[in-house]
Structure 1
């Protein structure tokens, strides 16, 4: 019994010791896992902090971090820890590195300060940067970052004037080109004849070839002078016509009034003559009833005969006066017809002038002023009836190169033929206008989607197939088209802008394209 009791006591003691050993092992295991987690976090942060300092150190830290994540045996990780430690010891000599960085920062800052025309604030920022002595490598890196920022500000300050000058020059060039195009359009719409027309045509050719800004100003003044001369000439011509008409009308009014007075006097004399004839007739009838034989009536009859002859003479005088009055009235009628003919001729001239105002003199299609007038009309119809209304913009590709290569006369010929071709492909209800040097606009009302696409595609193909030949060379001309439809709350200005965007897309797509923008 004693032996069994002793054995049981030993077993209990061993069990207690085993439990204590298990608890100790568990505590050590938990502590080990915590230390491994801390080590992993330390290695990860060290990898981030030391990234880029040394490629070998980056490589060893990555291997160490991977081994820890894979929970490898610590004994196998220790050699890597020793290598990392050795590499870190090699990186601890940062004092000389900081000195080199500080010297570079100082030299770069001094070089930056010597740049002329730097703002006072920028110089003050450089001074503040130099006044801070770096106390760590991190501080040195911050100073380098600040120095880069100062360099960037200085470069911007030095290059902005150049950029502004280039941008200003670019804007000036664009403005000059726009003014040239506007002046060409004004010359086209003036459509002057004679010597003034020839001078304006010569100016247009100069603008097409390109002019200097000062020359553009001179040409503007010349166009203004020619337009003013043409206006003065037209005004003098109109004033002369009005003076002639006014004089003729005044003379006609005076003679008509005299003729009317003469007619009234003639009417009065004829009335008196009629009254005297009535009295003479009464006397004759009294004599017939009073006298029974002719011999006794002869004396009275003689007096009646004398009175009758006087009345006849007066009647002849009245007839002569009537004849003169009729001739005068006929003369007045001729003068009135002549005045009417003159006014009709002047009216036709005014109509022709008005027609020329709305027609492009080169292509004989409508011009930009007529286009805006017609677009406003079609826009109001669209608002009322909501029928499909299409706007298309056509621009010739590389037209400037054609002018430069073959001359402006060739370009004018191309424009005339293409305008005629466009007109042939349109309906009577469609509208075409030349709104720029080589740009046309079309208005297509009441047209289905299939028909407008077919018509515009046909126009593009027809232009491409036109046979041009200049200087014994076959020349092909293409056109880019941009089209859109009126929709919802559109206005003419919005639709024109959308059509221009569609045209720009067609140009960007490689030219000779038709682009729709809804």
Structure 2
């Protein structure tokens, strides 16, 4: 009996120990799940913070997040984490270099500002405080200093435009304020930065689509940029572009508000007229029923009179009274008929207004469709733009997931495009982009899709393509461009393209396919160009 009690006690202690271990195990699992959720949240925030700085880093982070969503063993992510760690290190080094270059540019700009005369006293005081301020720590601090520097340069440009106040000091005599030094005779100017800003600005203008005076002004600014501008005018032109974008957006908003206001007024008028007509119709219906009942009652009264009166004299007198009442009722009926005719006229007018509103709405719907089409169209090449690509790629990707039909993604780059701009000018570069885009679009199937990805790059989607022969249509695109007889300044110029392409594979996300196609394009560019490389 004592042995049984001892065993029972040991079993109880063992059960308590097992329960304690189970609680500890549950805590470990809960901790693991919590850490996994925190990891996914951290990667999502890291993706948001790093987005747009490096395409390969964006793709790797998106791929890692996708794997984490699948709840894999953490040990299987070591390789991905090592690659991302390396990319982050490279990005950090590049960021440090960028901060260093920005700091140098700020120092150079500050030296040039010291040579400027003609600032108002309050501006000179602000400039003195700016030049004496300590260096920033991060890229955000440097960006703020660059923006402040541009504000001073904007004021300097305005001073330069005044004939009585030259921008740069021509005398070696110092200013009254002793901390503003004389100008350096050969202050260096970064031609590459100037050219890069001008090039990016004119490319930005090609992405805009404003009508009227704003569109004409932007086109004129782009012509100035293509022909070349002096450094002092670049900042002023940047401000002009910003002002024109704001003005164009404001005009589009006004047009939308005017349309909505007109539509609202028309709807209010129609609603009021409809309500009045409805009330009038109900009143007429009620009055008509009352008149009909009254006439029926008078007719019944006449029948009763005919049956109850024996003499003609009494009968005539009784019927005469009923006939007078019926005559009044008929007059009321005639008045109601006039009201009905007026109501029909009002309804006809309202129908005409509704028909006109329908036509106007159809016209605005057509214009909205055209505007939406323009929204997804590259204004220079007239093929789809980046926004349209994002939308179509997502659609084709979902179709591929659902039906499993082959889907090819190809990235196309015009070889040595910079040489065309440098040797023949940006107008020639624009012409080449237009011709290449049109030729590529004409060589594709109706079901295929092409978009300008940026600069001289295009992206092509080939849905439902033969997976064993998808290189053939890409070779056709390459040969089509190579055979075009380009001529610039009476000189024949051969333009070629390099293509990197891939098929979507099981487990792929869009970023995976993009990454492979981009690497294939890189191989094409570094293997002689003018070729198709598959991944």
TM-score range, shorter chain: 0.5 to 0.7
Deviations 1:17-48 (A, max 9, x none): xxxxxxxxxxxxxxxxxxxxxxxxxxxxxxxx
Structure 2 gaps, min length 5: 1-96, 106-189
Aligned to 2:376: 358
1:496 aligns with 2:498: no
Distance change (3 Å), C-alpha of 1:371 and 1:207: farther
Give the equivalent residue in structure 2 for 1:151.
none
Q: Matched residues in 2 for 1:299 and 1:309: separation?
A: 16
> CA separation of 1:176/1:403 partners in 2, compared to 1, >3 Å: closer, same or farther?
closer
Q: Partner residue of 2:400?
A: 382
Post-superposition offset of 1:217: 4.6
Structure 1 214/397 Cα, relative in aligned 2: closer, same or farther at 3 Å?
farther
Work out whether 1:266 is the aligned partner of 2:294.
no
Any idea what the Cα deviations from partners look like across 1:226-262, whole Å, max 9, x if unmatched? Answer: 2211111111111112222222222322232222222
Offset of 1:321 from its aligned partner? 0.5
1:195 equivalent to 2:213? Answer: yes
Q: Deviations over 1:38-83 (max 9, x none)?
A: xxxxxxxxxxxxxxxxxxxxxxxxxxxxxxxxxxxxxxxxxxxxxx
Correspondence for 2:351 among 333, 351, 365: 333
2:294 to 273, 276, 283: 276
Q: Take 1:319 and 1:243, find their aligned partners in 2: how far apart are those partners?
A: 38
* 1:121 corresponding residue in structure 2: none
Determine if the alignment matches structure 1 residue 396 to structure 2 residue 414.
yes
Post-superposition Cα deviations, 1:107-146, rounded to whole Å, max 9, x if no partner, equal xxxxxxxxxxxxxxxxxxxxxxxxxxxxxxxxxxxxxxxx
Distance 1:219 1:349, change over 3 A: same
- 1:224 maps to which of 242, 248, 269: 242
Aligned residues: 353
Distance 1:444 1:211, change over 3 A: farther
Distance 1:297 1:486, change over 3 A: same
Structure 1 unmatched runs, 5+: 1-160
Distance change >3 Å, CA 391–CA 345, structure 1 → 2:
same
Q: CA deviation at 1:353?
A: 1.7
Secondary structure class of the residue paired with 2:454: coil
Q: Which residue of 2 aligns with 1:348?
A: 366
Larger radius of gyration: 1
What is the rounded CA distance, in whole Å, between the counterparts of 1:210 and 1:443 in structure 2? 37
User: 1:422 & 1:230 partners in 2: Cα distance?
Assistant: 32
Residues 108-257 of structure 1 aligned to structure 2 (within 5 Å): 183-207=201-225, 217-257=235-275
Greater helix content: 1
Q: CA deviation at 1:505?
A: 2.5
1:274 Cα offset (Å) = 0.9
CA distance in 2, matches of 1:452, 1:357: 31
Mean CA deviation greater in 421-430 or 492-501: 492-501
Whole-angstrom CA distance in 1 between matches of 2:507 and 2:197: 32
- Give the distance between the partners of 1:497 and 1:183, measured in 2 at CA: 28
